[in-house]
Amino acid sequence: MSDTLDLTRRLVSIPSHEDEREAGDAVESWLRTETDAAVRRDDAGNVIARRGEGDASLALVGHHDVVPPADEQVDDGEYAVEERNGRLYGRGTADMKGSLAAAMVAFRDATIDSGTELVLASFAGEEQGGVGARAAIDAGFAPDYAVVGEGSTGYSAPGVTDVAVAHKGRRGSTLVARGEGAHASEPEAGENAVYRACDAVDVVRALDAPETTVLGQELRGSVAVTEIDGGTAWNVIPDRCEVTVDERTVPGERAALARTESVTGVEWVVDQDLPPMACDDADFATTVLDAARAVQDGTPERVAKPHATDAGWLAAAGTTCVVCGAAEPGEAHTAEESVAIDVLERCERLYRRVAESV
């Protein structure tokens, strides 16, 4: 059994959807035992290890938290891990303890230049909106370059591990429409908050979706109303109505949702804003793409991902990022979550090659 597969099995078996400390303990313990790196565990639960020093720094980035497992993914208090048909099944195999394990082994084994600092960062709270990444950034975490090990396999062709040079973000917001209640038999005596909300929805429907191009990859965002809640009884003019809006953002562009506040009585409230990512250095993207080509028979390409990762927070703070990892589209967060074992081992070689090239 390879070190990457063995470590993936160990990390995946540890529950980390409610309390990430045991998974963080395992990452920290392995790094302290297997490497001579300087290892630090911060108050947010992040594990950050550093090797070497120099003018350039490269981080291999993952996270050790997961979303809640399905019932069939739990066995006697631990997460079930099963190997069959060349794949490893279990909560977190794809998102993203598999790629984290590959990054840890690559971090240990890479031969780095004297002018390079190699960093391994395993963040907590990625599934809660990047809690760990934001805490690390606030505390000064600022590598020059980062490879974030979220999934990039199977985008250009089945089984091919591509290099994502951009991804969308998500801005979730609420339109709060306020009116004045009245008896429904005299609607003119009040101000109907549902009508005001509907006027605001019309504004949303007329907005253009944001779009941009990053290193040849086209990204088109979206904006959509997804929920509406208003009224208290069949015979009462509603004095409040709330509308949920889901916006998928792209680097540098946002939908003009502030226009909804032109409707009387409507307030636009941003609830969550996960940033998009754009790689700002074509040479670094090429370095990672060359490494991806060297470790597989397929022909990897630059691609864009549809959803947010911790790369968005890092890029916003000034780190040049790409996303490259073993997971395939549709695997994360499912009851049958799995990852191809040969792709895990491919990613370990890919990460090591990048570390030795920067």
pLDDT at 115: 87
Ranges of residues in the chain whose predicted pLDDT is under 50: none
Residue 104: asked if its preceding bond is cis (omega within 30°), the reply is no
pLDDT at 10: 97
Task: Report CA torsion sign: 152, 157, 161, 163.
Answer: negative
Please state whether beta strands 47-51 and 116-123 pair in parallel, antiparallel, or not at all (unpaired): antiparallel
pLDDT at 358: 85
Length of the chain: 358
> In degrees, to the nearest 5, what angle opens at C-alpha 151 toward C-alphas 56 and 307?
95
pLDDT at 77: 85
Q: Burial level of 18, CB count in 10 A (0-12/13-18/19+)?
A: exposed
Neighbours of 124 (CB within 10 A): 26
Closest residue by Cα to residue 31 from 125, 124, 100, 104: 104
pLDDT at 256: 96
Q: Which helix (H) or strand (E) holds 311?
A: helix 310-316
72-125 residue pLDDT tens? 999 888 899 999 999 999 999 999 999 999 999 999 999 998 889 999 999 999
Contact predicate 354/291, CB 8 Å: yes
pLDDT at 54: 87
Copy the structure tokens of residue 311: 């790369």
Neighbours of 40 (CB within 10 A): 12
The residues near 21 (Cβ < 8 Å, ≥ 6 apart) are 45
Q: pTM of the entire structure?
A: 0.93
Collapsed DSSP state (helix, strand, coil) of residue 149: coil
What domains can you pick out in the chain, each with its CATH number?
Answer: 3-168+276-355 (3.40.630.10), 169-274 (3.30.70.360)
